Structure 1
Amino acid sequence: MQKTPTNDSEPLPVSKTRRKQEMHALQDMGEQLIQLDPKRLAELDLPETLADAILEAKRIRKHGALRRQMQFIGKLMRDVDAAPIQEKLDAWNGLSAQHTAWLHLLERWRERLLADELALVELGQKYPSADLQQLRLLTRNAEKEKLANKPPKSFRMLFHELQKIIPEGSEWSDNE
């Protein structure tokens, strides 16, 4: 027989399934915390017991012991407001995704510059601060290095020059 509240003002009790889902979510967040480097971990202002448990989990190599430590971290996380921690983790993950997208944009521009001479003109129109003469020189040298099987010094320098020109957060448009 299922218990139902007699009064409408009483909240329904949280089901066992829901509690387990919440505990697993906290354990998953704990796994994300274990993956963080110590600098980022320090930025979160975690309680000392939780921070110590996370550092201990980083040292554990045995699967069973690590599983128990993860459960312990999940238990400690119940006493902490997890929302600000999750927001910070999401922000860091979003930032790294945005940074990765920017790096891919730079790589696409570099490949276009090496494949098509008109790409240099387009780059100059889109980013007027670009030093086209320097980019043309680096592009030519990168092509020569590739043909001569030399180390890709100019290829890398071209990428660094593009990093200076194209601001982070720029997006690739279809006509590029």
Structure 2
Amino acid sequence: MQQDDQFDDDEAGDFGPSRSERRREALEVLDLARRLVEQSEARIAQIPMDEDLRELVLASRRITAQIARKRQIQFLAKHMRREDDEALALIRAALDHDRADHRREAQALHRVEHWRDRLVDEGDAALAELLAEHPTADRQHLRQLARNAHQEKLKNKPPHAYRELFRELRDLLADSPDGD
């Protein structure tokens, strides 16, 4: 009876990850490999990884045929699965950091575009709101650019003032202390 209890304890022990868990992990590494291959060569050079893996990523980037590239990315993922969890976590963190930066930059550009469109469409009412948030802004210059951009829009002229207004707003909103 004593041996049966011991056998049951061993059997009830840790069997490791299930097949489903291993598959999910493999698919995550495959996705990570795809994301790595999509990066520019300059960005790949900045991501923390060993040189053999870096060379494999760069070789994968050079393959352009669709099926061959898919096979190469799978091969890359196979090599990446051999890396320790810390190395993969560093790569993942570097790529996620890039996504967050990109998202913040996109939000900032959308905010600038929003203000530019409001200034062109609403005129002095939108300018008063903008100046309430950013009292250091040059009221005359922004008003003139907004009016010129509005005229360009009405007359279907090239958007010179429209672009200049965007640049001025981008600089103004980037210089604000709260990031608005």
TM-score range, shorter chain: 0.7 to 0.9
The structure with higher relative contact order (CA 8 Å, sep 6+) is 1
Partner of 2:125: 118
Contact 1:114 1:139 in 2 (8 A): yes
Moved more, 56-65 or 119-128: 56-65
Partner of 2:173: 166
Partner of 1:37: 40
Mark the CA change 1:85 to 1:153 in structure 2 (over 3 Å): closer, same or farther. same
Deviation, structure 1 residue 78? 1.8
Moved more, 22-31 or 39-48: 39-48
Q: Within 5 Å, which residues of 2 pair with 1:68-107? A: 68-80=71-83, 81-107=87-113
Contact 2:127 2:143 in 1 (8 A): yes
Question: Deviation string for 1:14-63 (max 9, x for gaps)?
Answer: 22222122111101001000111111111113222211221122121223
The alignment of Structure 1 onto Structure 2 pairs a total of residues equal to 168
Q: Alignment partner of 2:130: what SS?
A: helix
Matched, 1:152 2:159: yes
Moved more, 128-137 or 159-168: 159-168
Deviation, structure 1 residue 8? 8.4
Moved more, 59-68 or 118-127: 59-68
Contact 1:5 1:12 in 2 (8 A): no
Instruction: Find the aligned partners of 2:116 and 2:11 in 1 and give their Cα distance.
Output: 65
Matched, 1:13 2:22: no
User: Equivalent pairs: percent with the same residue?
Assistant: 34
5+ residue gaps, structure 2, are: 1-6
Q: Alignment partner of 2:156: what SS?
A: coil
Q: Alignment partner of 2:174: what SS?
A: coil
Contact 1:26 1:78 in 2 (8 A): yes
Instruction: Find the aligned partners of 1:114 and 1:63 in 2 and give their Cα distance.
Output: 46
Partner of 1:59: 62
Instruction: Find the aligned partners of 1:28 and 1:131 in 2 and give their Cα distance.
Output: 48
Instruction: Find the aligned partners of 2:149 and 2:163 in 1 and give their Cα distance.
Output: 9
Matched, 1:136 2:143: yes
Deviation, structure 1 residue 10? 4.2
Q: Within 5 Å, which residues of 2 pair with 1:23-34? A: 23-34=26-37
| Runs of 4+ displaced beyond 6 Å | none
Structure whose alpha-carbon radius of gyration is higher: 2
Partner of 1:174: none
